[in-house]
Chain A
């Protein structure tokens, strides 16, 4: 076990509502590495992120995922989270009536309990919140409000990275964290992510656009097309994609997929 990679994805097939989206994904991530996954719309980027997090409605039909040597797919979503898998959502859901701070304290303590650490009391937790809030320049007022309720798109994304900072995951999956962000918000969010890079933390950054990778520079980049990784390389691959689009990587180009037109 000691020598096995941090995360190994083998021949992963998954479908949503009977449609096969992932068709044999192969990916290995070592501890401390940042991997970017890019691809055209509908290629399965977000599906990959959700399957790893265990979202209901995504059915794995074939393949396996080993996380720290364990069968990740056999674990309940909350167990994956407690084991250090974190998903920064593309569309964080609103939870009326539950304050952000109360929610996060429950989350942090659930994870600490799982790791055999003492749970934080209110004072300790607030100190931690203050410290981490600076990282993503999140307003303390936002921390007190109900989870994501009435947050702007940028505030929601910042809140995701803020949560990531608090929960201290071993594997962070960022699902199109850049979508819907203006350039200033993008800089803040990416700055937060960069501060969280560590030899102890691996990241999978799912994005449609190359621009995020100007701020979060990955160690490796993979291109996902039609549910398969068709090309892997270093960060320079992003520039090539920027220039040529995805079409040159597609064996049989699906209709109407070309250079993303900035439709977000």
Chain B
């Protein structure tokens, strides 16, 4: 009978709906990393000699590197020798698979996750490449896409069927020496998606990759390469989930985008890796390198990310604005609840003249979550008339979480125009009570405030994804008010 102080409380139960395990027979290499493992992965993929050499160079370089420590996240040392670097569901047939050859259990898994692998009229707007542990298990709508000359396939298939394209572009945006995790990826990457949009073609549908980690103790190291030729356009989506496990699992991916003259790539991510339990046990370490090069004049690369999962997120989708009048965009929502940590942001490197970049970052922290925005805007000496607009907003729920902002700005050209706005706000008890007094539950109140906060980013997402992202955010923050 007492109106006890129903303050914004500790986070309790949250529901991770993608946390199931698929019981499927897998073929894995033993844990551990050495040159033989690198050779084995390459051999399994029947790769050409040059690619094996590239992997080995990366591996040898990796041995000389130290894991970075500058990021604002904390985790116990990773034992790289206990990780399984290759795991794939056993397949009966070799070579390119048609959907009929895919294990029904896999189809069922993706069905459960709401990913349409069966090409259905209702969901005809999205082509999917489904990556399960280390391999791509299916790619939909390939024929329809190939009619307009678009190549959309797994990375392994691209190596077999389009080696000249892979060789021409692989590692040109993220070199194998780039950073600790990208270098590791270069040595052991197993699969991923490859996408090539020919000159003047607008992709008739959204392309997407859905990453699923299933096996225990397995790292996922996939590589995505997207090349948009002159005057082409593609919108690309990426989704990720993993089962609930007590151990941390490493996901170290590399994404390279190349946009030539007048080309536009829109890359959207809804990341929902298993975030660990409320005490921070388990969850994915999402240490990812994503970078796009606007090589041609008036080219454009736009990153939109909604990061709700992972125990630790560490990524900076970036744009290298080489072409004159090229445009880079970064729209981000990052949520950290319970014990989640995120250190994320972007780098905009202005090289060409009249290059423009926009950064909109929305960080939401709840529970004991720690959310860091780290961004760099660099204007090189020859980038006359470069412009950047940055906006970093943080929203706190409760009083045990943290928000941190580290904007780096380096300007070497006096004609540059830079704008930076930042804000921090907190969902107050008085706000929650106002909603309640109008009949709205506290959970719904938080949802509405958070969605309002993220609106500008959500509107950058393709329609179906925006709806998905909103729901996901609701689940992620479930129980964040008492």
**Is the pairing of A and B real?**
yes
B304 to chain A, nearest CB (A): 18
Residues of B within 8 A of A96 (CB): 425, 452-453
Complex-state Cα separation, A55 to B448, whole angstroms: 20
- Chain A contact residue count (CB 8 A cutoff): 43
Q: Which single member of A51, A56, A71, A99 contacts B433 (CB below 8 Å)?
A: A56
Query: Taking CB as reference atom, which chain B residue is nearest A57?
Result: B5
A216 contacts chain B at the CB level, 8 A cutoff = no
Query: Taking CB as reference atom, which chain B residue is nearest A173?
Result: B437
A224 contacts chain B at the CB level, 8 A cutoff = no
Interface residues of B in 421-467 (CB under 8 A from A): 425, 428-431, 433-442, 444, 448-449, 451-453, 455
Could you tell me if A78 and B5 are in contact, using CB atoms closer than 8 angstroms? Answer: no
Interface size class of chain B, counting residues whose CB lies under 8 Å from the partner chain? 20 to 34
Q: Mark A87-104, 1 if CB is under 8 A from B, else 0.
A: 101001101111100111
Complex-state Cα separation, A76 to B433, whole angstroms: 11
B25 contacts chain A at the CB level, 8 A cutoff = no
A229 to chain B, nearest CB (A): 20
A48 contacts chain B at the CB level, 8 A cutoff = no
Residues of B within 8 A of A87 (CB): 437
Query: Taking CB as reference atom, which chain A residue is nearest B2?
Result: A60
Q: Is the interface of B mostly helix, strand, loop or mixed?
A: helix
Q: Mark A66-78, 1 if CB is under 8 A from B, else 0.
A: 0000010110111
Query: Taking CB as reference atom, which chain B residue is nearest A94?
Result: B431
Complex-state Cα separation, A61 to B3, whole angstroms: 9
Query: Taking CB as reference atom, which chain B residue is nearest A76?
Result: B436
Q: Is the interface of A mostly helix, strand, loop or mixed?
A: mixed
Q: Given that A96-B452, A107-B439 are known contacts, is A73 also in contact with B3, CB under 8 Å in the complex?
A: yes
Could you tell me if A167 and B1 are in contact, using CB atoms closer than 8 angstroms? Answer: no
Q: Which single member of B6, B431, B442 contacts A95 (CB below 8 Å)?
A: B431
Complex-state Cα separation, A98 to B5, whole angstroms: 25
A82 contacts chain B at the CB level, 8 A cutoff = yes
A58 contacts chain B at the CB level, 8 A cutoff = yes
Q: Given that A55-B3, A78-B440 are known contacts, is A93 also in contact with B453, CB under 8 Å in the complex?
A: no
Could you tell me if A163 and B438 are in contact, using CB atoms closer than 8 angstroms? Answer: yes
Complex-state Cα separation, A250 to B434, whole angstroms: 34
Complex-state Cα separation, A103 to B437, whole angstroms: 12
B71 contacts chain A at the CB level, 8 A cutoff = no
Could you tell me if B437 and A58 are in contact, using CB atoms closer than 8 angstroms? Answer: no
B7 contacts chain A at the CB level, 8 A cutoff = yes
Residues of B within 8 A of A55 (CB): 3, 433, 437
A110 contacts chain B at the CB level, 8 A cutoff = yes
Complex-state Cα separation, A57 to B430, whole angstroms: 10
A122 to chain B, nearest CB (A): 16
A54 contacts chain B at the CB level, 8 A cutoff = yes
Q: Which single member of B1, B430, B440 contacts A71 (CB below 8 Å)?
A: B1
Residues of B within 8 A of A (CB): 1-7, 425, 428-431, 433-442, 444, 448-449, 451-453, 455
Residues of A within 8 A of B (CB): 14, 51, 53-61, 64, 71, 73-74, 76-78, 80-82, 86-87, 89, 92-93, 95-99, 102-104, 106-107, 110-111, 114, 146-147, 163, 167
Query: What are 22 of the A-B contact pairs (CB < 8 Å)?
Result: A51-B3, A54-B3, A54-B437, A56-B4, A56-B5, A56-B429, A59-B5, A60-B2, A73-B1, A76-B436, A77-B433, A78-B441, A93-B430, A93-B431, A93-B434, A99-B452, A103-B435, A103-B440, A103-B448, A106-B440, A111-B439, A167-B438
